[in-house]
Structure 1
C-alpha cells in the first residue's frame, strides 16, 4: 500500500498570526484550527476511501 500525504492549514493564515495586532492572533488561531479540523476530516475520509479501494483491488484480483 502506498503512503498518503495530507496537506493541512494555509500559509496565509500563519503569516497573519505573526503580525502584532491585539486580539487578532486568537481569532486567527481559532479559524486556523477550524480549517485544520475540516482538512483533517476530509483527508481522513479520502484516505479511508482510498484504503478501501486498495483492499478491494487486492482482494478481488484473482
Structure 2
C-alpha cells in the first residue's frame, strides 16, 4: 500500500475513533447523571424506551 494512502486511512481511523469517543463521553456526562437521579423503575423504563427507539429500520439497513 502506498505510504500516502496509508497515512490518509490512519488519519481517518483516528478521527473517527475520536468522534465516537466524544459521543460516548457526551452521553456519559449528560444523559447518565440525569437518569441516575431517578428511581430504579424510571431508569429501567427510560433505558428500555431508548433501546426500542434505536433499534429501528435505519440501523438494520
TM-score normalised per structure 2: 0.51
After superposition, the CA RMSD in angstroms is 2.0
Structure 2 counterpart of 1:33: 14
Greater helix share, structure number = 2
1:46 to 1, 19, 27: 27
Task: Give the whole-Å Cα distance in 2 for the aligned partners of 1:38 and 1:22.
Answer: 24
Detail structure 1 runs of 4+ shifted over 3 Å in the superposition: none
My pick for the range that moved more, 49-58 or 23-32, is: 49-58
Q: Size of the alignment, in residue pairs?
A: 40
2:5 to 12, 24, 27: 24
